[in-house]
Amino acid sequence: MVRSEVIVAGAGPVGTVVAYALALRGIDVLLLEASATCEDDMRASTIHSSTLSLLNGIGITDRLIDVGLKAPLYQYRIRSTNEVLEFDLGELSDVLEFPFRLQCEQFKLARLLAHELEASPNANVLFNHDIKSFKQDAAGVVVEAETPAGSRSFQCDYLIAADGARSTIRRQLDVSFDGFTYPESFLTLSTGADLAAYFDNLSFVNYVSDPEEWYVLLKVPSAWRILIPVDESEDDAYTISDRKTARLFQGLLGDDTPIETNHRTIYRVHQRVVSKMNHGRVLLAGDSAHLNNPLGGFGMNGGIHDAMNLAAKLDDILRNNRNAEELLGLYDRQRRTVMHQFVQAQTIRNKKMIEESGKESRRQQWDEMRAIHSDSGRRRDYMMRQSMMQSLKAEAEIR
């Protein structure tokens, strides 16, 4: 049976980052991915400043910058009045190594790292390996994967579950995943059309508030992307139909020029955190451990923060003989605390803000936002929080 020090389940952004960070430290890693390739996944498009700094530690940031778009500015807009509050990360150049958000499709990161891992002497990547089960004891973990050639077994000291929201490994651990699911779904569309031509002074990241139909408008190198809520009663076939798409663009752009789309995808959105991320030799990271709405772009970024934290701890355990229970317990405490206190709280607030309804309670959210925007100290704090610098600092203080 093939034995590695660490097996990583899932070649998404979190699995590839943790596998690469471990391989660079000289740890033997096997990355098992159920699909035939790193899928053309368009979900995440923003990499925050804090994450760019972490990825710089493993030599990847410059290569991502080459294939992404620097977005120092982001905007909040009220659709009905065209009021715009613009935030400029350039104001934090004195403290941020990368004073911008990088707009980059998430599959570019996963593919780049999978490619690097394939070339690494102490890493191996196997696609078409769908993990079906695992067993752990004091000596290690045995993982069973289904492949086109039949079932295969692998052994390791530690198994990292970076197998996404529907994680097979999380389900087998039988750990609770409490939180809630929003009643509405979210539709994302992408188009090669130049949507900036329809708006004044649009930035690459725009959150547009509206009581009826809020939306997020984001630029990535290959497309403009729109994220929009869909009423729970709406039929999925209609949601992704040409008729709905034409109506949507007409409403957003005030023009009935036909806009061609490249992707139309419906997502259910959850706010959930597992009750524990460390289970003996099995560790959860990324979407297998926590889910949140995409307003602010924290899901993948938070998962990469897990990956970098966990890689450092496993290195200390495997190479420096440090106490595994202690360090992996600390991983759990640090990452779950930050997930609850920062990511869950902030994404719920971000969604409330964009749903501005004209009602008194919601108007207060915008008054608060204007107050933050007009005060340079509060504006800096806000940008530090939204770029996930504050959560990274908070994590390091948890012992």
Ligand X SMILES: Cc1cc2nc3c(=O)[nH]c(=O)nc-3n(C[C@H](O)[C@H](O)[C@H](O)COP(=O)(O)OP(=O)(O)OC[C@H]3O[C@@H](n4cnc5c(N)ncnc54)[C@H](O)[C@@H]3O)c2cc1C
Q: Which is nearer to ligand X, 9 or 317 (CB)?
A: 9
Question: Could you give the 3-state DSSP secondary structure of residue 44?
Answer: coil
Q: Which is nearer to ligand X, 80 or 180 (CB)?
A: 180
Using CA atoms, how far apart are residues 29 and 21, in angstroms rounded to an integer? 10
In the DSSP assignment, the letter for residue 231 is: -
β-strand pairing of 150-161 with 282-284: parallel
Task: Please report whether residue 229 would count as binding ligand X according to CB under 6 A.
Answer: no
> Least distance (Å) from ligand X to the CB of residue 287?
4
Residue with tokens 């108007």, as numbered in its chain: 363
Task: Please report whether residue 130 would count as binding ligand X according to CB under 6 A.
Answer: yes
Burial of 121 (C-beta count, 10 Å sphere; 0-12/13-18/19+): exposed
Q: Which is nearer to ligand X, 219 or 281 (CB)?
A: 219
Long-range contacts formed by 92-96: CB under 8 A, 24+ apart: 92/49, 92/380, 92/383, 92/384, 92/387, 95/384, 95/389, 96/49, 96/53, 96/387, 96/389
Among 43, 77, 219, 272, interactor with ligand X by CB under 6 A: 43
Task: Please report whether residue 35 would count as binding ligand X according to CB under 6 A.
Answer: yes
Task: Please report whether residue 105 would count as binding ligand X according to CB under 6 A.
Answer: no
> Least distance (Å) from ligand X to the CB of residue 302?
7
Stretch that binds ligand X, among 34-42, 78-86, 255-263, 378-386 (CB under 6 A): 34-42
Q: Which is nearer to ligand X, 99 or 286 (CB)?
A: 286
Q: Which is nearer to ligand X, 106 or 209 (CB)?
A: 106
Using CA atoms, how far apart are residues 168 and 132, in angstroms rounded to an integer? 7
Q: Facing residues of 365 across strands?
A: none
Task: Please report whether residue 227 would count as binding ligand X according to CB under 6 A.
Answer: yes
Q: Which is nearer to ligand X, 278 or 301 (CB)?
A: 301
Residue nearest to ligand X (CB): 12
Q: Residue 46, Cβ neighbours under 10 Å: how many?
A: 25
Q: Which is nearer to ligand X, 72 or 297 (CB)?
A: 297
> Least distance (Å) from ligand X to the CB of residue 371?
26
> Least distance (Å) from ligand X to the CB of residue 186?
6
Helix, strand, coil fractions of the chain, as percent rounded to 5? 40, 30, 30
Using CA atoms, how far apart are residues 162 and 7, in angstroms rounded to an integer? 10
Which of 303-312 are b and which e, b meaning 16 or more Cβ less than 10 Å from the residue's Cβ? bbbbbbbbbb
Q: How many residues bind ligand X (CB under 6 A)?
A: 36
In the DSSP assignment, the letter for residue 31 is: E
Burial of 14 (C-beta count, 10 Å sphere; 0-12/13-18/19+): buried
Among 267, 349, 352, 372, interactor with ligand X by CB under 6 A: 267
The 161-200 site mask, x for binding ligand X (CB under 6 A), equals -xxx---x-----------------x-x------------
Residue with tokens 């780049």, as numbered in its chain: 112
Could you give the angle at which helices 13-24 and 299-320 cross, rounded to 10 degrees? 30
The 63-92 site mask, x for binding ligand X (CB under 6 A), equals ------------------------------
> Least distance (Å) from ligand X to the CB of residue 252?
17
Task: Please report whether residue 332 would count as binding ligand X according to CB under 6 A.
Answer: no
- Interface with ligand X (CB under 6 A): 9-15, 32-35, 41, 43-46, 106, 130-131, 162-164, 168, 186, 188, 227, 267, 286-287, 294, 297-301, 303
